[in-house]
Amino acid sequence: MVKKHIFVNLKRFDVPAETGGVNRLASPDKWAETIISGLSAGLEKYRDQAAFTFFFPEAHIIQAVAVNGAPLSVGCQGLHWDDVTRGGNFGAFTSLRPAAAMKALGCTSALIGHCEERRALEFVLAGGGAEGEAAAGAVNKILAREIAAAKAQKLKVLYCVGEKAEERERWQEVLSAQIDAGLSVAGDDLVIGYEPVWAIGPGKTPPDRACVEKIARFVKKRAEGIPLVYGGGLKADNAAMLASVPEIDGGLIALTRFSGEIGFYPAEYLEIVRLYLEGVR
């Protein structure tokens, strides 16, 4: 059986609810441990079916890695495009996140090109005068350097691609440019995550099965069969549908609850995993 890939992006979910965040699980100093300890037993039975990776905010990586025996991998949320090198830069990266530092903390993976990272880079570039296609091209080049930095440290990569609402008419062109930039430096241990950016957020209509299948087939062909997960993301409502699309090899999960006390909850995550993997069968 070919393993599926199930990722979690915990964004800034460590911020307590009373200060505007969605963390109702534990105090920040126990947050990562609470998540992993709440999942380990439930994920154990799926070891042969899927690989599980969690991308934590940087402050929580050491604590997450310290939980022994958990059937999951720990990763970081993006990298800097330059890195510490022997005989070169010894670590002059104030405020940045070099791959060598993440490797030293215990990460085995990196999330690169998430739509929120792309948006932040485009914002910076727009301030410097680059907008539209020029900014998008520059972002692709920066992200390719991030992937190269990750691969140099032997980190696995989830590389996200996706088109915005104003790019939908030329989605093939947009996705091709993003995919080609990533694959130019990728090598092994890379998974692509497709994010329909135009469908992400409150009040947006998610893509149906026909749309997911059409785009998944295009991405799989363009990426020459590299594993592809749905980054829109995977949730209880669409788990069975996504499991029915042969070209989809897993998913990226963020929130598990989208109304009421929204946030990430371990028990709800395990239910999404169950729904997806049972659908895969």
* Positions marked active-site: 114, 195
CB atoms within 10 A of CB 244: 13
Tell me the C-alpha distance between 108 and 130, whole Å: 34
Angle at 27 (CA atoms; ends 22, 32), nearest 5 degrees = 80
DSSP lists the bridge partners of residue 196 as none
Contacts of 8 by beta carbon, 8 Å cutoff, 6+ apart: 52, 53, 54, 55, 252, 253, 254, 264, 269
Tell me the C-alpha distance between 32 and 36, whole Å: 6
Q: Do residues 182 and 175 make contact, with C-beta atoms less than 8 angstroms apart?
A: no
Tell me the C-alpha distance between 211 and 196, whole Å: 10
